[in-house]
Amino acid sequence: MSCSVRSSPLQGRMALNRLFVLFLGTALPLLFFFSLADAGKVGVSYGRLGNNLPSTASVVKLLKQSGITTVRLYDANPRVLKALANTGITVMVMLPNDHLAAAAADPASARRWVLRNVAAHYPATRIHGVAVGNEVFEEASNLTRQLVPAMANVHAALVRLGLDEAVKVSTPLAFTALQESWPPSAGRFRDDIARPVMKPMLDFLERTGSYLTVNAYPFFAYVEQPDKISLDYALGSAKAGVRDPVTGLVYHSLLDAQLDATFFAMEKLGSSGARQGNSLGRGTPPARAYVSESGWPSGGRRRPGRRLDLEAGGGAGASAAALANAKAYNNYLINRVLSCDTGTPYRPDADMDVYIFALFNENDKGCGEDDIEQHFGLFYPNQTKVYEFDFRGAAPSASSWCVANASAGVAWLQAALDWACGHGADCSDIQAGAPCFEPDTVVAHASHAFNSYYQRSGRASGTCDFAGAAYVVYHAPKIGNCVLPSQVWIQEAAAKSEGYAAI
Ligand SMILES: *[C@@H]1O[C@H](CO)[C@@H](O)[C@H](O)[C@H]1NC(C)=O
Ligand SMILES: *[C@@H]1O[C@H](CO)[C@@H](O)[C@H](O)[C@H]1NC(C)=O
Ligand SMILES: *[C@@H]1O[C@H](CO)[C@@H](O)[C@H](O)[C@H]1NC(C)=O
Q: HSE of 153 in the Cβ direction (CA atoms, 13 Å)?
A: 24
Looking at residue 402, its pLDDT comes to: 92
Atom of ligand 3 minimally distant from the CA of 407 = 2
Question: Does the structure show a pLDDT above 90 at 254?
Answer: yes
Question: Does the structure show a pLDDT above 70 at 93?
Answer: yes
Q: How many Å lie between the centroid of ligand 1 and the Cα of residue 133?
A: 13
Looking at residue 165, its pLDDT comes to: 93
- Give yes or no for residue 2 CB within 6 A of ligand 3: no
Mean pLDDT of all residues in 248-264: 96
Question: Does the structure show a pLDDT above 60 at 49?
Answer: yes
Q: What is the H or E stretch that residue 219 is in?
A: helix 218-224
Q: How many Å lie between the centroid of ligand 2 and the Cα of residue 382?
A: 6
Atom of ligand 2 minimally distant from the CA of 383 = 1
Please say whether the beta carbons of 296 and 311 come within 8 A: no
Please say whether the beta carbons of 38 and 4 come within 8 A: yes
Mean pLDDT of all residues in 423-440: 92
SS3 406: helix
Ligand 2 cavity residues, CB under 6 Å: 380, 382, 384
Which ligand has the nearest atom to the CA of 369?
2
Q: Predicted confidence band at 98 (pLDDT cuts at 50, 70, 90)?
A: very high
Atom of ligand 3 minimally distant from the CA of 405 = 1
Looking at residue 4, its pLDDT comes to: 37
Range of lowest pLDDT (16-30, 54-68, 462-476): 16-30
Please say whether the beta carbons of 60 and 126 come within 8 A: no
The residues assigned a catalytic role are 135, 293
Q: How far apart are CA 450 and CA 428, in angstroms?
A: 13
Q: How many Å lie between the centroid of ligand 3 and the Cα of residue 378?
A: 35
Q: What are phi and psi of 441, to 5 degrees?
A: -125, 155
Ligand 1 cavity residues, CB under 6 Å: 101, 140, 142-143
pLDDT greater at residue 94 or residue 457: 94
Which ligand has the nearest atom to the CA of 375?
2
> Ligand 3, from 14, 20, 400, 405: best to mutate by most atoms within 8 Å of Cβ?
405
Q: How many Å lie between the centroid of ligand 2 and the Cα of residue 365?
A: 19
Question: Does the structure show a pLDDT above 90 at 285?
Answer: no
At 135-183, the pLDDT tens digits run 999 999 999 999 999 999 999 999 999 999 999 999 999 999 999 999 9
In single-letter form, the type of residue at position 228 comes to K
- Give yes or no for residue 405 CB within 6 A of ligand 3: yes
Q: How far apart are CA 105 and CA 143, in angstroms?
A: 11
Question: Does the structure show a pLDDT above 70 at 19?
Answer: no
At 225-251, the pLDDT tens digits run 888 999 999 999 998 899 999 999 999
Nearest protein CA to atom 2 of ligand 1, as residue: 142
Atom of ligand 2 minimally distant from the CA of 382 = 1
Atom of ligand 1 minimally distant from the CA of 101 = 13
Q: How many Å lie between the centroid of ligand 3 and the Cα of residue 314?
A: 54
Q: What rounded mean pLDDT belongs to the chain?
A: 85
Q: How far apart are CA 16 and CA 408, in angstroms?
A: 11
